Structure 1
Amino acid sequence: MKLINLFLILFITLSLISCSKDKVQKSTIEQKSLELQVLEAYEEGIESLKKNDVLYAAKKFNEAETLFPQSTTAPKAALMAAYSYYSQDYYEDAIGELQRFIKVYPFHKNIDYAHYLLGLSWYEQIIDEKKDLQTILKAKEEFLLIIEKYPETEYALDAEFKIDLINDTLASKEMYIGRYYFKKKKWISAINRFKTVVNEYETTIYTEEALHRLVEVYYTIGLEVEAKKYAKLLGYNYQSSQWYERSYMVFNKMYEKNKIKFEKDKKNKNKFLKKFKSLFNLDE
């Protein structure tokens, strides 16, 4: 009886080992086949991208990622799908892919590039500073993140340049609204807009005009001390600019009138001298 039981146990054990080997072998074959499928999908995506068939390329890259999410090719495929969309101006699709990439692969070695491409995808959609405020702010947010977290990368250098352009755009928007309020005699609203330019976008090309507009507004509402303060600031930093000359004229209402009168008097004086000299001309 014991001999029969021993034989039975030995038979079952050998059967299990055989099944286990079959499973391992089958699993290995399936895994190799899966990796091959991933590689084929990825390479097909690359070929389609070269042919500018970006939608099919993105589809194949997504397929490569989905087939084997644990593979080293998966994050690379996800990033290539985003680039495919970006390369042909499908910015919304690119943004969707990049946001997912950043969430799923936060520690990937190319995460800095993902943020940079995301910033560009927002930036390329800026058309009208009067309407695209969300797009502008999203782009600026990504570029600031790159400068803060990846300052030594090549992306940080371009991000700084892009932020300068974005600040010019934002300052332009503030000036546009400020001028509108000024025309409508909404003084406080106008002041707030012009001050935003001076305080937050002081390195932009609109700072000089913003200072001049503050001089205009404060002088108009009778706050001459405040007007002189901003005129002095404008003169100290931009004395040779046209905006400083305009601010000077705000405080000298008779400046233009006197200038015309002076030119007229000078002309008349020259005529008189010429006539007077002719009286003593010996040749006549």
Structure 2
Amino acid sequence: MRKFGLLGGLITIILVLSACASEKDKIAAGSEKDIYQRAQYALNHSSWDAAVEYLQLLEEHYPFGVYAEQSQLELIFAYYQSDEHEAAIASADRFIRLHPQHRSVDYAYYMRGVASFSNDTAITSFLPTDVTQRDIGTAREAFNYFNQFLNRYPDSPYALDAQKRMIYLRNTMARSEIHVANYYFKREAYLAAANRGRYVVENMQGTPAVPDGLAVMAMGYHMLNMPELANDAVKVLIANYPNHPAIKNGKFNFEYSTAKKRSWVSYVTFGLFDKRPVIKFDSRKQYDPFYAEAPPAPPAA
């Protein structure tokens, strides 16, 4: 009896799989228009997995059909909405390679950048992480993709959105440099910290991280006993950002982030158990009130 039950279950599974396969074969055997209409219905109802399946069927059975090029563009978007960002990038690359002169190839370039930047959104949407403190390789890649897109298609309808995303990405990369500088301060690698601050000041002008870049330079050179370079950075900081948290009474506070009110325990033990001073610059709340806001979702093809 038991063997019969197992056999019966196995037969049921086979029949279900066969039914699914035959249904898929039926759809594949349908007309190009019929499959495309099914894909459109899935897209309009945000059924992204179904849309991907139908669009893949179109590409497989009608690679040179009437809807081939449009369905390839829509497949990029469907992959993106399904959180299959690598597949979206690969599809965009393929479209660019196959249709370099297509009237909508700019959309493929644009979506390649969007998908690249969104590679790690699954993590940031569930965890309250600061993206600037994590690896920003995808941000750099996305920035380069958008830069290539704008160089080729500056008048594209997606150009303005790409520019906004590039500003966000550039701000993210600049802030990441400050986080690295703060880490170097913790490790007492003051020259490395100062160099990170200088990189932001020289290469990331216009980003909200520049004030902290100057503060990093001032503190780093001060710790290296290089007063001239430290004073130069302080002068520029005070002239341009007089309200920076490290400025106190019109002067740079070289004890910033290190001087804290001492407890009675500290006095009694002569500071023996005091925590190691930490140098850390992060003035985003003052100079970048929108730093936590990510760009909106991209438009459909």
TM-score (ref. length: structure 1): 0.70
Q: Is 1:98 paired with 2:101?
A: no
Out of 121, 134, 147, the residue aligned to residue 144 of structure 1 is: 147
Moved over 6 A (4+): none
Counterpart AA for 2:76: A
Q: Which sits farther off after the overlay, 207-216 or 91-100?
A: 91-100
Counterpart AA for 2:39: G
- Measured after TM superposition, the shift of residue 252 of structure 1 is 10
Q: Is 1:217 paired with 2:220?
A: yes
Distance 1:46 1:109 in 2: 21
- Measured after TM superposition, the shift of residue 186 of structure 1 is 0.7
Task: Report 1:56-205 matches (<5 A).
Answer: 56-126=50-120, 127=124, 128-205=131-208
- Map of 1:53 onto structure 2: 47
Structure that is richer in helix per residue: 1
- Measured after TM superposition, the shift of residue 39 of structure 1 is 1.8
Distance 2:251 2:42 in 1: 64
The structure number with the bigger radius of gyration is: 1
What SS class does the counterpart of residue 121 from structure 1 fall into? helix
**Over aligned residue pairs, what C-alpha RMSD do you find?**
2.6
Alignment CA distance shift 1:242-1:252 (3 Å): closer
Tell whether the 8 Å contact from 1:55 to 1:84 is kept in structure 2 after alignment.
yes
- Measured after TM superposition, the shift of residue 143 of structure 1 is 1.3
- Measured after TM superposition, the shift of residue 196 of structure 1 is 1.5
Alignment CA distance shift 1:191-1:251 (3 Å): closer
Alignment CA distance shift 1:40-1:247 (3 Å): farther
- Measured after TM superposition, the shift of residue 111 of structure 1 is 0.7
TM-score (ref. length: structure 2): 0.67
Tell whether the 8 Å contact from 2:109 to 2:145 is kept in structure 1 after alignment.
yes
Distance 2:141 2:249 in 1: 37
Distance 1:155 1:165 in 2: 16
| Identical positions, percent | 25
Higher relative contact order (CA 8 A, sep 6+): 2
Q: Which runs of 5+ in 1 are unaligned?
A: 1-33, 257-284
- Map of 1:22 onto structure 2: none
Counterpart AA for 2:111: L
Aligned residues: 221
Distance 2:66 2:99 in 1: 11
Distance 1:132 1:249 in 2: 31
